[in-house]
A and B are shown apart, each in its own frame.
Chain A
Amino acid sequence: MQFGIFSVGDVTPDPTTGREPTERERIKAMVTIALKAEDVGLDVFATGEHHNPPFVPSSPTTMLGYIAARTSRLQLSTATTLITTNDPVKIAEDYAMLQHLADGRVDLMMGRGNTGPVYPWFGQDIRMGIPLAVENYALLHRLWREDVVDWEGKFRTPLQSFTSTPRPLDGVPPFVWHGSIRSPEIAEQAAYYGDGFFANHIFWPASHTRRMVGLYRKRFEHYGHGSADQAIVGLGGQVFMRKNSQDAVREFRPYFDVAPVYGHGPSLEEFTAQTPLTVGSPQQVIDRTLSFREYVGDYQRQLFLIDHAGLPLSTVLEQLDMLGEEVVPVLRKEFAIGRPAHVPEAPTHESLVAAAAAAASASASAASASAASVAEVAG
Chain B
Amino acid sequence: MTVRSLAVVSAGLSQPSSSRLLADRLAAAVGAVLPVETTLIEVRDHSHDVVNNLLTGFPSPALAGMLSAVSAADGLIAVSPIFNASYSGLFKSFFDVLDESALLDKPVLLAATGGTARHSLALEHALRPMFTHMRATVVPTSVFAAPEDWAGGAGPSGALAVRIERAARELADQMERRESRPVRDPFDLPVTFDRLLAGD
Contact = CB atoms under 8 A, between A and B. Distances in A.
A192 B55 contact: no
A211 B61 contact: no
A184 B199 CA distance: 17
A212 B187 contact: yes
Contacts, number: 56
Given A192-B193, A205-B58, A205-B61, A270 B186 contact: no
A261 B56 contact: yes
Interface of A: 130-131, 134-135, 138, 153-154, 181-182, 184-185, 188-189, 192, 203-205, 208, 211-212, 215, 261-262, 264-266, 270-271, 274
A131 B188 CA distance: 17
Contacts of A208: 58
Given A184-B189, A215-B187, 20 more contacts: A130-B196, A131-B196, A134-B199, A135-B197, A135-B199, A138-B197, A181-B57, A184-B187, A184-B188, A185-B189, A185-B196, A188-B196, A192-B193, A203-B58, A211-B187, A261-B56, A265-B51, A265-B52, A265-B55, A270-B52
Nearest to B53: A265
Given A184-B188, A185-B189, A215-B187, A274 B60 contact: yes
A281 B189 CA distance: 40
B57 A203 contact: yes
A262 B60 contact: no
Interface string B30-60: 0000000000000000000001100111101
Contacts of A205: 58, 61
How many B residues touch the partner, as a band? 10 to 19
Closest 7 pairs (CB-CB, A-B): A265-B55, A266-B52, A265-B52, A134-B196, A188-B193, A192-B193, A262-B56
Nearest to A204: B58
Contacts of A181: 57
Contact of A274 (B61, B188, B193, B197): B61
Contacts of A265: 51-52, 55-56
A261 B187 CA distance: 24
A154 B199 contact: yes
B52 A188 contact: no
21 contacts: A134-B196, A135-B197, A138-B197, A153-B199, A185-B196, A188-B193, A188-B196, A203-B56, A204-B57, A205-B58, A211-B187, A262-B55, A264-B55, A265-B51, A265-B52, A265-B55, A266-B52, A266-B55, A266-B60, A271-B56, A274-B61
A211 B64 CA distance: 15
Contacts of B196: 130-131, 134, 185, 188-189
Contacts of B55: 262, 264-266
B56 A188 contact: no
Contacts of B197: 134-135, 138
A266 B186 contact: no
B193 A189 contact: yes
Contacts of B61: 205, 274
Contacts of B52: 265-266, 270
Nearest to A265: B55
B163 to A, nearest CB: 40
